[in-house]
Structure 1
Amino acid sequence: MKPTIDINLGGMLFHLDDDAYKALQSYLKALDKHLQTVDGRQEILSDIESRIAELLTERLASTRQVVSMLDVDAVKETLGSPSEFGPGPVDEPSQGYSEPHDPSARSKRPYRRLYRDDQDRVVGGVASGIAAFFNWDPLVLRVLFLLLLFTGGGVLLYIILWVLMPKAVTTAERLAMRGEPVTVETIRNKVETEFDKVKNSMDDMDVKGRFSRGARRTSSVLGRILRVCARIVIGFVSVALLVTAIAIGTVALNFLIGDGSVISESGKLSELSEVIMPAGYSMTYLWIMTILVLSGPIIFIVLLNLRAFFGMRYNRPSSRMLGGLGALATLIGLLMAMVSGIKVATEFNVDASHLQTVNMPESVKTWELSMADIMLKDPDFSLGRVRIDGENLDEWDESDLNDSFPSWWYIKDNRAFFNNVEVDVRPARQGQASLTVRRYASGSSRREASYRANRIDYDLTVSDSGEIVVNNMLDFPTSDRQRGQSVEVVLYLPVGHRVSFDVSLENYLYDVDNVANMYDDEMLGRTWIMMPEGLTEVKAY
């Protein structure tokens, strides 16, 4: 059993065993002696301590709490020993300090992190920070942000990046921003370079220098004002995103495990998903896929709120791990969606159709075309699944229902009903009126598509007086899945025959050619006659 010692290193609390504490203390003393004659010694030591704290945090992660001798040795191998650096005091190393066992094995792999470059900023240092990360020219990014300014989203994007990207404060952070190895040697060289710049700038007191510093002070004040405004904006955006995430989660849960009554006027969306999903893919698959896809955005929104309101940094191990898990979950969910999507897409490879000709009375020359809503005919449709403003459909009359919404699907007795119906009127090639019904469907093969098309059930009625009533919905077995099933009803009229379109055909007339080039909805409630030049409106005089 070893005693442990608590220390504050780089603003973070660490628990070290006795051997690790002595080794780390000796290492820091050796560095202090070596840097006695170097300008900016305290800043270098402070940056080194921050870097040591970062390395120890990465090694401990969430599995251990006490720093051991192995951790300290790993830190020394990463940062290097004082004897490897430039000129310095030749004093012997402090008692208890030992060189890394294999300095040549020290990791030289640079690592990059995204920071705002406050030293080369115009406004907030976002463009210069991104440019340093990717080793680009910051001017290119500044021009890009300037162009985005005119698209309407550039300002918001810049503000969000400004808030999310931490500022490179320490020398170690500035090195990491540029992808340079963060060792004692590079930290020392960077600090000495900065001190040389300061000395040179002290000799430059001309008008240009004063103007530059004045502009920088103005930019600094403007930057602080914009940063406050950015935090306010990002706060509102974060709250809005959080509310949106809660709403999406509620809807998703209701969709997946609820009764679906608050989502659709036609029925449960879970039933619809079963008709759309490929055979063999259960609701459990869709449930898992949806949760995984939503996990990443929800975790990001939560972290964004923690950053906006509590100042939590993203580079904390727990935040990075949580964000990584969220991103991984979303990626897995998207892959699951891709797999099922590809499976569905293959079942739309080939189209097929089945043609039916309907008998027509030969003596009729004036036709009345209307549409019946089979959902109104179905007494079992209003089973409490449809609720609008808290009212049950049973309390609505037909006019209220027609004015409220056009229901486009529902499922009953293992049959799926869809309103994929189109009605058209065309010139007849012979002297007799005719009516055709063509059923369409898709499949992975022509045989499969033809099989689905033949299993579509669709009804219409033609009276001896010339009244044609077509249904607004087709239906098919739910086991066939929704694979583009549709119906096209075409009335062929010879020259001299008339037809009137009832208003119930709204949304179902499809691109009916006429001499006046009227839109389909404008043709409703009018009487038309087929002329040699095409369908012509019969006007009352």
Structure 2
Amino acid sequence: MNKTININLAGTFFHIDEDAFQKLQRYLEAIKNSLTTTQGQTEILADIEARIAELFGERVIHERQVVSLNEVEEIINIMGQPEDYIVDEEIFDDEPTGNPNNTNNNSSRKLFRDTGNAYIGGVSSGLAYYFGVDPLWIRILWVFLFFGFGTGILLYILLWILMPAAKTTADKLAMSGKPINISNIEEKVKEGFSNVKGSFDDVADRISNANYDDVNQKVKDKSRSFFDTLRKIIKFIFTIFSKFIGVILIIMGASTLIGLTIGLFTVGVADLFNFPSIDFANAVNSTNLQLWLVSTIALFAVGIPFFYILILGLKILSKNIKSLGNITNFTLLGIWLASIITLVVFTVKEINEHIYTESVTVKTELAVTSKDTLYVKMSDNVNNYRSSSSPLYRNGDDFKIIMTNDSIRKLYNTDVRLIFRSSKDSLTTISVEKIANGSDFQTAKQRAKNIDYNYDFTNGNLELDPFLLTSFEDKFSNQRIKITIYIPEGAIVWTDENTYSFHRNTREYKDILDNGFEEHFLEVTKNDVLCLDCSKRSKYNINMDINMGDSSIKINGDSSRLDTPKVPTTPRVPAKTKNN
């Protein structure tokens, strides 16, 4: 196994194999020897090293990866051999520069700001290189956008911030669309020296036009200095704002991942060791899928996007954070898609378990005639059962898991609905409707039959259980009880105060008892009741006159009338007594 050497190439550190290092060293030495008599040898070598470092960076996925001999040979093939580019100096001295924007490789151009020919930020010159046109036309277009639409300033500032400046020779070659190899780097550097030489040759002409050139240069320098300062201020503001966004993303991603991990660990441990608190989650899981598996899938489905949010925040704060690599990205993408699909299937299956509703109704006649009084209350049989003291084991008092005297788990539910209606005959009947959901009608009907609900009737006293019990194996399937008591006209009903929360007196249930009539004797009439001992009459039997200055309001039953003559206030409350 070859040794690994750490090298610093153009300011970037790389781990390189010993054989690869020796080949790279010989290659750079050969380039240096071929440029012995060339002007700008140091600049050419620096640009070549920068280009090689850039190519290495594209191939190194993570910081610990070692550059191999194959990668060095691949880069040498891209850059070319030194002996292929030995060019006579006089060719560059006599070669016309031509239009810098003209190139035959338009498709490989990259967008940079040309600061060498800039009046403000070099955006126009850079765009001219990219599109292969004269910079004058781009500048005329900016003037039109500035004064024509008013959006040109914002667009120019945005491009100024986003477009990098062409600083190195490699950047300038990429801007003009030329391949970045030894030949073109050498040519570009020599062009710079040729331009300097030409400037000395034209010094006489510049002296004759000294005033014009001096004023022109001062205008360019001042405008460039002002806009460079403005650009730095705007860039600083955007940098601060982006760093703030990065911190927010890091906090959001990290906190979510930590919360999901803790939740997964808690649920997984509780499920594997059968902690009592996990029974509540199992009671509402109709698909019987293992909770630790559901938690793991949810962790991947939710956690992977927040993981990338965390990585994005870190990249905003630090430019040294490298990408995860295509293999890792595609692997995480596959896991995320599989998790999403599994959760969708799980959710659809869970919904399907509650899509159908069926009921079972049992009607029983009660020994209450039109001359009798029926007393109704909710029983306290719930004290016969015990429930866990764990707060995770129950959902308030409405839904919980209890243990019977035989140590059998049952689902306890208080979804009991109590309705009173007047009977169409002389019979008093109680209708107990058991309702449940299921994946099909047969399953829903069987779950409804399995509901355990009881009541007791003795000597005119009806005690209703305020809860229902279901088998733990039936899970929570929206089981509920609907009790409808039909009472003949003339009979009297009295309800305990503990029935208040079970009444369903909305219009759809057609309940003749309003909330607030508890613990009062009520005579049943046709689709109505008459309170026999109310100090404040209901809307059904209120008759009174109310004085309001020179006017009065007369209320009779559920109607009212406003009279202007003044009359004394005389409340009239009819009452009816009943001999029991």
Counterpart of 1:486 in structure 2: which amino acid? R
Partner Cα separation in structure 2 for residue 366 and residue 21 of structure 1: 105
Measured after TM superposition, the shift of residue 377 of structure 1 is: 0.9
Partner Cα separation in structure 1 for residue 345 and residue 5 of structure 2: 54
* Structure 1: unaligned runs, 5 residues or longer: 93-109, 112-116, 120-165, 176-180, 196-201, 261-266, 394-403
Residue matched to 2:456? 461
Match for residue 367 of structure 2 among 349, 352, 361: 361
Match for residue 482 of structure 2 among 478, 482, 488: 488
Residue matched to 2:399? 408
Measured after TM superposition, the shift of residue 496 of structure 1 is: 5.8
Check conservation: 2:369, 2:428, Cα contact below 8 A. Answer: no
Counterpart of 1:422 in structure 2: which amino acid? R
Partner Cα separation in structure 2 for residue 465 and residue 183 of structure 1: 102
User: What SS does structure 2 have at the residue aligned with 1:456?
Assistant: coil
Residue by residue over 1:484-511, the C-alpha shift from the partner in whole angstroms, topping out at 9 and shown as x without a partner, is 3332223345556666665645664446
Residue by residue over 1:407-458, the C-alpha shift from the partner in whole angstroms, topping out at 9 and shown as x without a partner, is 4222532432233333344454445443222222233332222222211112
Check conservation: 1:441, 1:449, Cα contact below 8 A. Answer: yes
Change (3 A) 1:362 1:493: closer
Check conservation: 1:502, 1:524, Cα contact below 8 A. Answer: no
Residue by residue over 1:57-116, the C-alpha shift from the partner in whole angstroms, topping out at 9 and shown as x without a partner, is 13xx58x84322222234456x56589x9xx87479xxxxxxxxxxxxxxxxx99xxxxx
**Structure 2 residue 48 is the aligned partner of structure 1 residue 48:** no
Residue matched to 1:470? 465
Check conservation: 2:377, 2:498, Cα contact below 8 A. Answer: yes
Counterpart of 1:483 in structure 2: which amino acid? S
Residue matched to 1:435? 430
Matches within 5 A, 1:195-210: none
Check conservation: 2:361, 2:432, Cα contact below 8 A. Answer: yes
TM-score by length of 2: 0.55
**Structure 2 residue 270 is the aligned partner of structure 1 residue 274:** no
CA RMSD, aligned part only? 5.8
Counterpart of 1:461 in structure 2: which amino acid? D
Check conservation: 2:364, 2:430, Cα contact below 8 A. Answer: yes
Change (3 A) 1:525 1:362: closer
Residue by residue over 1:342-370, the C-alpha shift from the partner in whole angstroms, topping out at 9 and shown as x without a partner, is 33333334322111113333236665555
Measured after TM superposition, the shift of residue 226 of structure 1 is: 5.0
**Structure 2 residue 243 is the aligned partner of structure 1 residue 231:** yes
Change (3 A) 1:296 1:432: same
Check conservation: 1:425, 1:512, Cα contact below 8 A. Answer: no
Matches within 5 A, 1:66-465: 66-75=66-75, 81=80, 90=87, 184=180, 217-218=229-230, 220-225=232-237, 227-232=239-244, 234-235=246-247, 238-239=250-251, 242-243=254-255, 245-258=257-270, 268-278=276-286, 281-293=289-301, 295-296=303-304, 299-300=307-308, 303=311, 311=318, 313-317=320-324, 328-363=334-369, 370-372=377-379, 376-381=382-387, 383-386=388-391, 405-412=396-403, 413-426=408-421, 428-465=423-460
Partner Cα separation in structure 1 for residue 16 and residue 220 of structure 2: 53
Check conservation: 1:271, 1:411, Cα contact below 8 A. Answer: no
Measured after TM superposition, the shift of residue 308 of structure 1 is: 7.1
Check conservation: 1:514, 1:535, Cα contact below 8 A. Answer: no
Change (3 A) 1:384 1:347: closer
Check conservation: 2:248, 2:313, Cα contact below 8 A. Answer: no
Change (3 A) 1:13 1:280: same
Check conservation: 2:362, 2:433, Cα contact below 8 A. Answer: yes
Partner Cα separation in structure 1 for residue 510 and residue 66 of structure 2: 86
Counterpart of 1:340 in structure 2: which amino acid? F
Rg larger in structure: 2
Residue matched to 1:14? 14
Partner Cα separation in structure 2 for residue 5 and residue 253 of structure 1: 43
Identity %: 16
Change (3 A) 1:287 1:2: closer
User: What SS does structure 1 have at the residue aligned with 2:60?
Assistant: helix
Change (3 A) 1:384 1:350: closer
Larger relative CO (CA 8 A, sep 6+): 1 or 2?
1
TM-score by length of 1: 0.58
Partner Cα separation in structure 2 for residue 269 and residue 443 of structure 1: 25
Check conservation: 2:16, 2:66, Cα contact below 8 A. Answer: yes
Check conservation: 1:278, 1:340, Cα contact below 8 A. Answer: no
